[in-house]
Structure 1
């Protein structure tokens, strides 16, 4: 299902999006090379199956890096939905289940269900929940969405992390999910935010402003991905209006920051290298010669100015959560 111009900048599959973007959830798995996976299908748009054994560790690390932001988001949801009264949560496009477990911890009276189109990722969600002592309250459900939405059952909270933009008709999909909510239930969509930043404007290689130009290329690619999604409907990403159109009452929007300044940990550095590697594979053909050469230097471990060695590397991003309640 598995992130126009509001979604592409903030989506990620690893961060809560399963066979959903990476943002993620964070951006690496949701880039063109990763084939914008579907939380409902786990496939490239051209039908090629993704190698989850390769992508799963990356998705887990992405979500773990953003875990504090998502912990804060889950705590905020607890102010909108009475924690003791929430008995069943659906995590749509759960991926490896990092956020599934966070939601289970935030709502200790609830059964939290990881919903994804990838059995491999659902197995990881089960293992993670067990390791955190949540196994009795976390379950998994394999589903192809939106076709099998009716099979998901009722819920008090539905969390869709960077998965809605993989639905061709987003309004129709939201209406279908709204039907699953119990009276007073809460829908939470992670869509949009800000592009992830790893580098300063001037990096000492090539023309300044590389990340902004990469964002523009990715925006073009994302628009093509949306247009090619089965049943795609061309409509603005006005999530408040879409939620209202699904018969829900918007109940607030907040944005949560992940800020890891330089010097970064080895895990954050590894994620940055993966992010740029996938960009190079995915939009490399669209880059001009100068930017392509710059990206190659950034990815060359032997170059002292590469991502592998730069002391100025950081990780800064923001994810926006839109909520609405069922009357």
Structure 2
């Protein structure tokens, strides 16, 4: 989230926060906030990749590079590697390349525009592939896994990362005197899940069918941020949740959500108890 986008608009239903109706600018802002607040998981996940790699990768492909957050993390972790940022969206690819250029990485990062629903690009081979919040975007992800297996160099590694739950912002028990009902986010998340939101795929079996040896790891993250950024990020997610929950959530929960998204004393911007929490699952898939 990092939420990288293979499709325009990162339109994977509600899974990553309801980006289906986000404009390019809104998506870029969401990805930027996610990276700034919850991006510490990238350090853990890229370190995991480094520990599992047979040797330091000389070539890396960021599959669904989106805003380039993952590309930058990979470049920091593997300073001698050449990295290809691959994405279907020309707009997102341009954002990724601008971000890497600003960090002086022009010579180490190249862009490749490709639609993986058509075919894996023949020229795209690598020692390490990184697919964060992108595989589930594809019409036939198992075909893509098999194609990535073939495109990986011998001993190569594919790291797949998915957001396995929506970010949380509120304490389970509001402070005394608050009009926000206790347990609000847990119930809202459960309602969204029953409507098909926040469902993430279990990739283990598909990766094994493609030929990989697979292991999983969970990456819980508590964000380090300012109250202003936490409120801004919360407004994006809770606002989209509010639109999706109209008519399905309990009236008391919708009333509490309205208070949080309003401009009164219970609004996100006036709260001192926000804490951004995120959760991701990673799969490390090795080609023998």
TM-score tier by shorter-chain length is 0.7 to 0.9
Question: Relative to 1, partners in 2 of residues 1:213 and 1:151: Cα closer, same or farther, differing over 3 Å?
Answer: farther
Deviation, 1:142, is 1.4
Q: Provide the C-alpha distance between the structure 2 equivalents of 1:29 and 1:295, rounded to a whole number of angstroms.
A: 20
Residue 158 of structure 1 and its aligned partner are, at CA, apart by: 1.0
Tell me if the contact between 2:68 and 2:96 (Cα under 8 Å) persists in the aligned partners: yes
CA deviations 1:199-227 (Å, max 9, x no partner) are 1123333542211122123223436x98x
TM superposition score normalised by structure 2 = 0.88
Partner of 1:59: 31
- Which aligned pairs between 1:233-244 and structure 2 lie closer than 5 A? 237-244=201-208
Once the two structures are superposed, the pairs formed by residues 253-264 of structure 1 within 5 Å of their partners are 253-260=216-223, 264=226
Q: Which residue of 2 aligns with 1:30?
A: 16
1:71 aligns with 2:43: yes
Q: Secondary structure at the match of 2:136?
A: helix
Tell me the residue number matched to 1:299: 261
Change (3 A) 1:146 1:193: same
Instruction: Report the equivalent of 2:105.
Output: 134
Q: 1:274 aligns with which of 236, 249, 256?
A: 236
8 Å contact from structure 2 (residues 8, 88) kept in 1:
no
Tell me the equivalent position of 1:18: 5
Partners of 1:209 and 1:21 in 2: how far apart? Answer: 34
Matched, 1:249 2:213: yes
User: Is 1:106 aligned to 2:69, yes or no?
Assistant: no
Deviates more, 1:95-104 or 1:14-23: 14-23
Q: Is this contact kept in 1: 2:114–2:121, CA < 8 A?
A: no
Say how many residue pairs are matched: 284
1:320 matched to 2:284: no
CA distance in structure 1 between the partners assigned to 2:111 and 2:196 by the alignment: 29
TM-score in terms of structure 1 length: 0.78
Using the TM superposition, give the Cα deviation of residue 150 of structure 1 relative to its aligned residue in structure 2, in angstroms.
3.2
Distance 1:28 1:165, change over 3 A: closer
Query: What's the counterpart of residue 39 of structure 1?
Result: none
Seen in structure 2, the aligned counterparts of structure 1 residues 284 and 145 have a Cα distance that, compared at 3 Å, is farther
8 Å CA contact 1:22, 1:59 repeated in 2: no
Q: Secondary structure at the match of 1:134?
A: coil
- Counterpart mapping for 1:151-230 below 5 A: 151=122, 153-203=124-174, 204-222=178-196
Q: CA 1:19–1:169 in 2, change beyond 3 Å: closer, same or farther?
A: closer
Looking at structure 1, the residues matched to 150 and 164 of structure 2 have their Cα atoms a distance apart, in angstroms, of 27
**Separation (CA, whole Å) in 2 of partners of 1:276 and 1:16:** 17
Q: Is the 8 A contact 2:9 2:23 kept in 1?
A: no
CA contact (8 A) 1:280 1:295 kept: yes
Q: Does structure 2 retain, via aligned residues, the 8 Å contact 1:22–1:29?
A: no
Structure 2 vs 1, CA of residues 316 and 20 (structure 1 numbering), >3 Å: closer, same or farther? Answer: farther
Cα offsets for 1:4-44 (capped at 9, x unmatched): xxxxxxxxxx3142246999x9x999333x21xxxxxxxx6
In the alignment, what sits opposite 2:251? Answer: 289
